[in-house]
Structures are given as structure tokens and as C-alpha cells.
Structure 1
Amino acid sequence: MQNELVVKSNQVIEASYRLSVVEQRVVLSAIAKIPKMSEVSDDEIYTVSVQDLQALGVHEKTAYRDLKEAVNRLYERSISLDIDDKLIKMRWVQRIEFTDNQGIIALRFSKDILPFISNVKANFTQYMLSEVSKMQGAYSVRIYELLTQYKSIGERSVAIDDLRVMLDLGSRYKTTGNLIAWVIDPSIEEINEQTDLKVTAKPQKTGRKFTHIKFTIKQKQKPKAQDPKRDPNTVDMFAHITDAQISKYSTILCKLGSISDLSNFPDYPSFANWIGKILRDPESANPIHAKRIFKALRTETDFKD
């Protein structure tokens, strides 16, 4: 799955909207194709193909039908963002095109939404599209985004009223019990099975009333591939880097696309500070993260060890 890094401003992550799971797949697939850290205009057109949807779990026999239906609905969909203490409602897309004989659609994002999904340099959340590719629940994708936003912190407490607004639940699942049974629990089950996160949820009371859901968030460690020719206890990295080098190269590394998916920080300096700690003491870090950072240091900068 190429071009699969999804970047959204936190305002979009926490906005009020409702999309079906196929509509979300279309939006996410198109967002992943937007060039990162560069200005784009609302004249740009992004294509989504049958193959894109199949990679995201849509059955090949219904992929194009689902694609057309999702885009037709998406054309009418809106999203409400809280901007400067104003609630502003805007459309996701302003134009769609169908190419039936090629099994693709093309869409142009609206001018209003584009600043929140392109060239986002601060207060953003990013993740790999493959993390949500197997999910079948629309709420699962939204809750995954809300939790991956806080994965570096390890927990998030969300007011139930706020969660209802974010998920645009309206009058559905009015009781806390129904909300947990029909929205939160199924979403967590999918998140735990399909993504890089391990999550639990616990309702919390204020006085005698349930008012918040507290989520604990842990990142799963992926199995470490072993080179059969090497001693598995050998650490394939180095730690003898000066403070001046750490300062220089962490600033460079934080802007590299090859490791940008490791960031869940609001800005480059915060990401650079985290990278600097790993450069200084790699053995205290997640070994997968450390390996990738040191590989990028060796292969994508002028550092010489």
C-alpha cells in the first residue's frame, strides 16, 4: 500500500461528522495521496481506484459500486469544526468525477477543508493507512484516530457528551450502557485486533452520573526480525554521538518522511526532542523505533560514524 501516511489536523480529528466506513476509506485514501509538507491548491484532483478500496478491505466484486455510492454520498456530507470559538460547517469535497471504464473516481477537496488535511505543520495526528484498512466499523476508525492522537501520552479521558458530538450520534445510543455496548466496545475490539494499539476503556463518574470514558492506550511492539547470520543479542546501532551532533541530526531527522509515522507530536521541535533522547540512549527506547531512526541517520543524512 503506497502513499499511505494519513495526516490530519487535530481539529479534524476532533470535529463533528459522520461518514460510513467506505466513505471514510475514500477520504483517507485521497488524503494519503496529498503531498506532505507542501502547499496544494483546491484545484488539485486526487484519484481513488477500485484497487485502493480493495487494499482497504472492500470486496472486489462490489468495490466499484461501493466506490461510486460512497462518493455520491460524500458529495453531500459536511464536517463541523471549532475554529477560533466559532463552529464552522464545511463540505469535504467540491467536485467528483467518474471514469467507469477505468474503475476510478477523482475528487477535489473543498477549499475550506484543505488547510486542515494538507501542509499541516503543527497540532496534527498522523498514522499509516494500513492500520485502519481491515476495520469494518465506522466508529472504530474515528475512535482509533482519537486514541492514536494520545498514544504518546498513554491515556485519554473523553467527556461522553463530547464523544457523542464528535461521532455525530444525535439521538442514537442515549444511555451510557448502549453507547458502550454498541459503539465503544465493538470499536475497541477491532482496534485491539487490527491496529498497532492495545486499548481499554472504563466509564467514569462525576458524582452519581457517568460523564467520561477513560481510555488507556498502549502501542504494540512488532516482532523483531532476526538475521540468522547475526548474534540476536547484538545491537545494530551506536550510541557515541556528541550533544552537538544530537542537536543537529535530531532537527534533520524529525523532517524526514521515512520516519514521520513515528511522530504523534504537535510540532517538529517536540518530535526532534524525542528523537534526540533515542540518539543519546538507544537501548532505553523501543528497539524498532531506534533501529529506524539510526538507519535514517546513516542512510539519509551526512552523518559519519
Structure 2
Amino acid sequence: MPHDEFSRIRQWTSRSAGQEGDGLSVGIGDDAAVFAVAAGREVVACCDAMIETVHFLRETMEPADIGYKALVSNLSDIAAMGGIPRFALVTIGVSPRWSVEECSRIYDGIYEAAEQHGVRIIGGDTVSTPDALHLSITVLGEVEQGKALRRSGARPGDLVFVTGPLGGAAAGLSLMLADREKMEQWPALVMMHRRPVPRIREGRLLLASCSRPGALNDVSDGLASELWEIAEASGVAVAVDPRRIPIAEEVRRYAASAGKDPLAWALYGGEDYELVGTVPEKDIGRLQQVFQENGCTLAVIGRVEEGEQAVWLADGTVRTPLPKGGYNHFSR
């Protein structure tokens, strides 16, 4: 993309319309944005990047999907703290291999996700890169003072839950890489990979409905990795029943047709962006009712135990250590 066309990209960052009373006093146009946090709340912030060939491939993602998923991955981190996302800053590094039109569609996806979840784009940066496209988004949100949910909240006796089916994103990627000609037969899998849903409402319900804060994490790197993060942060052991891990029927059917293991996708695939966490056992009945009343799902898959930090697959009387797995940028 020619250097003189970067002015067009900068204009895209001003498309976000604010809401009256959202606390923003200085937006795009100055060196930095200024906003106020509601009384009794504090800022919760996160930043995730997506790098071409590392986080996405051009042959499996449309430009709008790249932007959409980049913002959703950040919104999911806010959800995992029980917070409300409010503002976002977008930095894009564009190589000459990407056209202005393609970059415009990336921003279309960002704004689509932002509008769906009440987020306002308040700034960012645009730079050139020699080869791969880089996209980094920072999201700023808020949560009630001292109430943010953390990975360290698990206690022995707590139940372990997930908010929805796992393995769909990995199944969709496998489909698009190995069986691209069959994509039209499995549209749900394509959407699971390209258009995940951040569980913001579920995070808010968990924060408001439990007698004691449990642990919470989002499934970005795979269930096994997220369970290990909870076990290590909380100083506990976690045992989950693989038979109770929810896996969508489409994922099971495609796995059978492709000779793949759907449980492996659920444990190690990642990018499902469901929430995994723990709650006191006495709260589970009320919590499931609250979730149902709000159109949300909650599946109990295991229990927190005393003992050395560990994660187990507990299938009846058989217990198997669960390796961490998940994606590691520095393991190659």
C-alpha cells in the first residue's frame, strides 16, 4: 500500500460514534484520549495482538473477520475479569502486500464487533511493516472496585464450569486447511473459527451472582492451558470429567468424518473464547437458574481439590494427568 494512502486509514479510526454519558471527554484528534470512570468502579485493561501467519492466515480469514476476531479476543479478556468493555485503541502495521480496500474491511470488522458490544474506538496508530500485517488492540473497561474476578479464586470443593461448547474454532481451522472444498457443508464450523462470541454477559452474571468470587479465565489457548493457569494461580488441583466437556454436535460429526479427536480440539485447540471457572458448590443451582433466565449456558465439568497444583482428567475411577499444552509463542 503506498505511503501517501495512510491518511485514509487514519480516517477510519474516527468512525466510532460515542454515547452520551460514556465518560469520554477527549477523543480522537489529540495526542491521547481522556475518559472518566464511573463512581465505585476501576479500570480494567488488556492488549492482544494478531500477527499474520502466527495468529491468522489470509487463506482462512476474510479481512473483516481478522478485525472482528482481533477485537473479540480482547473483549473476552475483559469478560474473564467480570468487567464491562468501554473503549478500544487500534494499532495496525500494514505491509505493501495489503491494499487499502483490504485494510478498510479489517476496520469494518473491528467496528462491527465494537458496535455489537457497546465499545468506542478512541485512538490508536498506523505504521508500515515490511512483510506481515500486525494488528494490536488495547481495550479499556471498568469493573466494580475490588470485585474483578481472577484466576486465583479457586478453592477446594468448588465446581468447575465452562460457559459453552469447546473445540469449534480448531475444527473450523482444520476444515479450512485440510478440507477447504467442503467449507460450504460446514458453515457453522467456519463461523466458530472466524466469528467467536465474547462472553461478556456471562462474566457479569458470575460477578453478581456468587456468594464468593471464584476463579475465571477465558479459553483462548485451549481448555487444558486455562485449567492449568487456574490451578497454578490458586494453588489447587483440578479434576475434570472429559465426558462432561461440552462439544458441539457439528464438531463431533466433522471430527468423525475427518478422523480427528474432538476432545483434543477442545483441550488444546483454543480460540473458543468461552469462559472457564469455578464457583462454590452451594451457588451452582442458583447460578444455573440465573444463566438460563438470561439466555446463557453453564456446564459443570469437574471439581477443585486440595493438593499439589495439577490438572487431571477423571473418567470414573480412572485419573490421568492432563498436560498443559496450548499455544506457546516461544516453544518453536
Q: TM-score, normalised to structure 1's length?
A: 0.32
User: Greater RCO between the two (CA within 8 Å, min separation 6)?
Assistant: 2
Q: TM-score, normalised to structure 2's length?
A: 0.30
